[in-house]
Structure 1
């Protein structure tokens, strides 16, 4: 029996060695969109994003503020409403508001995200619409996405056009 225990023990040791430095979320994201961003600038994010996957038909446009770096105005088309803990998206709306980048931390697990605040057609309560998107950048372009399942490529994602 030592022969069967040795490979199992080696596999367990490899898994335990990987735990502190490996992140399934970053691996899944990196494989389909690019690396999760720790930081991003207005210039890197400004532009029009088209939806893919569950976000097909959605458009998000970010315009950078000249006076406040890392922020600006946002306009959305067919943006979904609904509680994000449920599996189905709700009704959609066209609206506008502001955006800002929340930079990641010094830890490899603290990534940057885009914070949205809708002012039109009305303000939303927390959970009434998606208002925080993770950022991925790589050879395939810049993506904004809902980071809801770390083991698969995000279903709700938007890709920067022309970038």
Structure 2
């Protein structure tokens, strides 16, 4: 009887390692935008980003600082507000502020992200607007996106123009 259970357990184990999220197979982020970045420089990120998916119509412009590597100024157009754990985006605004790159760690699961701080039209409280974007790069393209389900292509994403 224990011999019959052994092949069944092997089949279950094989299925579990094949399922997304349970294996080392590429995530949907990698499939639709490239791999998550561990690090990024000002020169790589500076430029104009156009929205895709739920970010359609959104523009984000990053200008690099000459005096502070990995940071600079940001300008947004039609940037949404609201609680990002809700299913719908809130009102949008045009504004500006600063940005910086938070580099990934030494672990294989720690990736770089872009931190935004809006100063105009007013300072936002945590949770009032999207202020952190993950970075993906691949095939000569750079995307910024709101973290979502790793098994689904992120719905709020921006692509660097010209890349």
Q: TM-score scaled by structure 2?
A: 0.90
Q: Equivalent residue for 2:10?
A: 9
> In structure 2, do the counterparts of structure 1 residues 158 and 101 end up closer, same or farther at CA, with 3 Å as the change threshold?
same
Counterparts in 2 of 1:49-60, with a 5 A limit?
A: 49-60=49-60
8 A contact 1:34–1:140 mirrored in 2: no
User: Shift of residue 149 of structure 1?
Assistant: 1.4
Deviation at 1:20, TM superposition (A): 10
Moved more, 36-45 or 26-35: 26-35
**2:20·2:151 contact (CA, 8 Å) conserved in 1?**
no
The CA distance in 2 between the partners of 1:30 and 1:19, in whole Å, is: 12
Residues 17/23 of structure 1: CA separation in 2 closer, same or farther (3 Å cut): closer
Distance 2:66 2:140 in 1: 28
- The CA RMSD over aligned residues, in Å, is 2.5
Q: Please give the alpha-carbon distance, in whole angstroms, between the structure 2 residues aligned to 1:42 and 1:98.
A: 12
Unaligned runs of 5+ in 1: none
Question: Are the structure 2 counterparts of residues 150 and 19 from structure 1 closer, same or farther at C-alpha, using a change threshold of 3 Å?
Answer: closer
* Alpha-carbon distance, 1:7 to partner: 5.3
User: Which shifted more, 99-108 or 2-11?
Assistant: 2-11
**Alignment length (residue pairs):** 162
Residue 125, structure 1, aligned to residue 150, structure 2: no
Structure-2 residue corresponding to 1:48:
48
Following TM superposition, the consecutive aligned residue runs of length 4 or more in structure 1 with deviations greater than 6 angstroms are 17-21
Deviations 1:53-88 (A, max 9, x none): 000000000000000000000000000000011000
Alignment correspondent of 1:61? 61
Q: Give distance in 2, aligned partners of 1:132 and 1:87.
A: 18
1:28-107 matches, cutoff 5 A: 28-107=28-107
Q: Which residue of 2 aligns with 1:136?
A: 136
